[in-house]
Amino acid sequence: MNGYYIQGNYHFMPDFLRRMLPQRFSEGSTMTAVVRWDKVNTNRDVTAGFGDLEQLSLGLNFRPIEDTVFKVSYQFGTRAFNPNTHERIHDNTLVLSAATYF
């Protein structure tokens, strides 16, 4: 088994949002754009088959305060394998999540 990921984050907060909605977007608020590439091989004994996974994720995180985050990301499953049919699939997913005080 082996794998890796490469991730880039860019933190920003548009000033016009702070001006328009100061009660929602304070000085402690921030947004983060995220790009991530994952590649995993869970079965090194089989070349280009079951266990090969590749995924590209594009996301946006909003932190109203440092300890709380709301996330949205779209994951492009560019290379995956269906264990039921033994066929290669392209599986895309929209992920919404929230976390606080972690």
Residues whose CB is less than 8 angstroms from the CB of residue 101 and which lie 6 or more positions away in sequence, other chains included: 67, 68
The answer to whether 80 touches 60, Cβ cutoff 8 Å, is no
List pLDDT tens digits, range 46-98: 665 666 788 899 999 999 988 999 999 999 977 766 666 767 676 788 999 99
**pTM above 0.75?**
yes
Query: Which residue shows structure tokens 């033994």?
Result: 86
What does the pLDDT average to over 10-16? 93
What does the pLDDT average to over 9-26? 90
Q: Is the pLDDT of residue 8 over 90?
A: yes
In the numeric block, which tokens belong to residue 2?
């082996």
- CA 2, 47, 81, 89: dihedral to nearest 10 degrees? 120
